[in-house]
Amino acid sequence: MEPDGNVSIEVVTNDNKKQMKKIIYNIMFCAIAGIVNAQVSIGGKLNVDGASTLLDFNSISSNTNGIILPAVDDTANALNSVTSDNNGTFLFDKSNNRVRMYENSTWVNLSDQGVSSSIVPNASDESNSNSGVIVGAETSNAKGVFILEASDKAMILPKIANPHLTVKSPYPGMLCYDTVGRAIAVFDGNVWSYWK
């Protein structure tokens, strides 16, 4: 933990799955260490941008690392019984090969139909449990592997200039902010889709 109370963690590359596990364990540690009013920085960044930021990424100009969304076989099993608690859920739906978001109790497609053949299933024991990491609160009614829970804070996406040109091997379900196009970029395993 940094002297100012922020936490610094190394960013995983989208080609190194073992490092992803390490990051998840580090995030779990950070969540336990600073449950209330937590601000987390990933990638060696010393300060989180803004008081209203819950999770921030070190987005240097040469960054090509984004977030890899969880890939699920069936969206029906991805939500809690009170589905409104899951508004804001992002995932890669393997049943139709699309990046999707749960908004106002409805699944919204964020990409066209892509390809999921390069997704490597996680067969480890923790992937079969219903537990996840919650940052920003002690509990959450949402279901997910990584839950950001705060009424006054948000996540700043990893920033990448022209991800369709600079990310050499994007993974299905990759999410970032395109600094040139000023849009959210999602990769569906085939092409990038952009949202403004």
Residue 57 has pLDDT above 80, yes or no: no
- The structure tokens listed for 146 are 């990584």
What pairing do the DSSP bridges indicate for beta strands 183-187 and 154-155?
unpaired
> What average pLDDT does the segment 34-51 reach?
64
Residue 1 has pLDDT above 70, yes or no: no
122-146: per-residue pLDDT in tens?
A: 766 655 556 678 888 888 888 887 8
pTM: 0.71
Cα-based distances in Å from 12 to 170, 175, 195 = 13, 13, 24
Count the neighbouring beta carbons within 10 Å of the beta carbon of residue 173: 29
> What average pLDDT does the segment 55-84 reach?
80
The larger pLDDT score, comparing residue 113 to residue 11, is at 113
Instruction: Report pLDDT for 10.
Output: 46
